[in-house]
């Protein structure tokens, strides 16, 4: 089921899910009934990944109908996303390590039949080949299927985890640098060193309602070595805009709900919604985001009372042209976490500065409050986050 790429559709999907966000979700979340079949999961992943809807909105809606205890399992899933984001933000070298190793392995396995068969869904492994087809056709996989897929890729097919993670990035609509990379590392036994996830025939059969029962799966997880995980560094600064200087708003696919981050009275001279195909991994994500950009531009025009334009390139020349046309000295954008957009902004900021234009990245309060707690494992992070939620102090 491919959902419409608009904020209105995101809110409708949330409203339809909220009544099931209690123990109904907890009891059925691991079951993957197949494409277009009713499932316990929310189907909000693409919306929250591109922030057409935000994490605080989701949790507030859930807590408006359920207490914290009954909705804890779903809230935990929302928090996992923030944990992975914060964890990678404080260890950006892990992203660089992934991209470097992916490129190296791509060259090594370029003409390997086993890789070609896996990418085409011709391994002969029941379930796995079906998930390849589902992913290619829909841009989506149930989270449990993603875990099974990764385990089979790494331990049964014995292919590099980085190439499997890259395959997901190139086909998932909700492709995300942090969640995807960290999840594959977790299955491979790298995120929690020595703790792997090994898919089994019985588990797959049980949670696919016996649609699949693949034979010949690996029963032992091979050890994958890598250098130690670096210690967490401080979060990058979230810059403050200068109210006295005219500014334009820049929106990227990292955060497509600017009206909830900036007050309607924010004096933007114009809005630029930049959707650069080079910064998206695959066609499914690009098509979704390109359509969402039209919706975002319309909402921005209404919220801020200034014209919004679409741009298909995130580069210094385009932004300087927009700033000059608006007479702006600042370009203000929602903070871009580790990934291609962050890399692009880092590259173009000096060129903007050379022309007297400052690039300001504004981070959400939710991220500022939660990300710093992603120091160790998820459960200490969760305990702190749940405490903050209980105090009603997250927006």
pLDDT at 1: 54
Name the 3-class secondary structure at 362: strand
Q: What are phi and psi of 240, to 5 degrees?
A: -100, 135
Distances (CA, A) of 375 to 91, 298, 381: 10, 39, 8
**Domains of the chain as residue ranges with CATH:** 7-88+370-390 (1.25.40), 98-207 (1.10.579.10), 247-362 (3.40.50.620)
Angle between helices 161-169 and 93-108 (to 10 degrees): 100
DSSP-assigned letter for residue 160: -
Q: What are phi and psi of 71, to 5 degrees?
A: -100, 10
pLDDT at 264: 74
Task: Give the pLDDT confidence of 226-260 residue by residue, as tens digits.
Answer: 999 999 999 988 777 777 789 999 999 999 999 99
Rounded Cα–Cα distance for residues 219 and 129 (Å): 19
20 by Cβ neighbours in 10 Å (0-12 / 13-18 / 19+) ranks as: middle
pLDDT at 243: 74
pLDDT at 170: 96
Name the 3-class secondary structure at 179: helix
pLDDT in tens, the chain (395 residues): 568 999 999 999 999 999 999 999 999 999 999 998 889 999 999 999 999 999 999 999 999 999 999 999 999 999 999 999 999 999 999 999 999 999 999 999 999 999 999 999 999 999 999 999 999 999 999 999 999 999 999 999 999 999 999 999 999 999 999 999 999 999 999 998 889 999 999 999 999 999 999 999 999 999 999 999 999 999 988 777 777 789 999 999 999 999 999 987 678 999 999 999 998 888 999 999 999 999 999 999 999 999 999 999 999 999 999 999 999 999 999 999 999 999 999 999 999 999 999 999 999 999 999 999 999 999 999 999 999 998 876 66
User: pTM for this structure?
Assistant: 0.95
Rounded Cα–Cα distance for residues 115 and 159 (Å): 7
To the nearest whole number, what is the mean pLDDT of the chain? Answer: 95
Residue partners of 275: CB distance under 8 A and separation at least 6: 252, 253, 286, 289, 290, 293, 310, 311, 312
**Which string of b and e fits 327-364 if b means at least 16 CB within 10 Å?**
ebbbbbbbbbbbbbbbbbbeebbeebeeeebbbbbbbb
The gap from C-alpha 11 to its chain's centroid, in whole angstroms, comes to 18
């Amino acid at each position: 089921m491919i959902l419409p790429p608009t904020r209105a559709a995101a809110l409708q999907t949330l409203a339809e899910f909220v009544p099931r966000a209690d123990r109904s979700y907890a009891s059925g979340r691991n079951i993957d009934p197949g494409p277009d079949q009713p499932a316990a999961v929310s189907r909000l992943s693409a919306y929250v990944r591109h922030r057409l809807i935000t994490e605080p909105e989701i949790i507030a809606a859930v807590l408006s109908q359920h207490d914290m205890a009954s909705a804890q399992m779903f809230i935990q899933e929302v928090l996992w996303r923030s944990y992975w984001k914060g964890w990678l933000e404080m260890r950006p070298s892990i992203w660089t390590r992934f991209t470097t190793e992916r490129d190296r392995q791509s060259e090594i396995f370029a003409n390997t039949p086993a890789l070609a068969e896996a990418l085409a869904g011709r391994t002969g492994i029941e379930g796995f080949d079906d998930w390849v087809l589902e992913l290619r056709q829909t841009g989506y996989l149930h989270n449990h299927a993603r875990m099974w897929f990764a385990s089979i890729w790494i331990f049964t097919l014995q292919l590099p985890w980085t190439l499997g993670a890259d395959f997901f990035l190139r086909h998932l609509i909700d492709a995300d640098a942090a969640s995807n990379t960290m999840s594959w590392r977790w299955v491979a036994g790298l995120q929690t060193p020595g703790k792997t996830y090994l898919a089994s025939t019985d588990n797959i059969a049980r949670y696919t309602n016996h649609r699949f029962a693949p034979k010949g799966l690996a029963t032992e997880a091979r050890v994958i070595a890598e250098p130690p995980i670096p210690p967490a560094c401080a979060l990058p600064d979230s810059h403050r805009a200068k109210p006295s200087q005219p500014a334009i708003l820049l929106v990227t696919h990292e955060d497509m709900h600017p009206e909830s981050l900036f007050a309607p009275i924010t004096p933007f001279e114009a809005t630029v919604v930049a959707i650069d195909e080079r910064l998206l991994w695959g066609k499914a994500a690009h098509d979704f985001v390109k359509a969402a950009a039209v919706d975002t531009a319309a909402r921005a025009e209404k919220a801020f009372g200034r014209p919004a334009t679409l741009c298909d390139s995130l580069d210094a020349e385009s932004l300087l042209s927009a700033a000059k046309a608006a007479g702006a000295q600042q370009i203000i954008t929602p903070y871009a976490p580790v990934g291609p957009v962050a890399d692009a902004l880092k590259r173009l900021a000096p060129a903007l500065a050379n022309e007297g234009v400052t690039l300001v990245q504004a981070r959400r309060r939710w991220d500022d409050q939660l990300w710093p707690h992603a120091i160790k494992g998820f459960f200490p992070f969760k305990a702190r986050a749940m405490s903050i939620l209980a105090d009603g102090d997250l927006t």
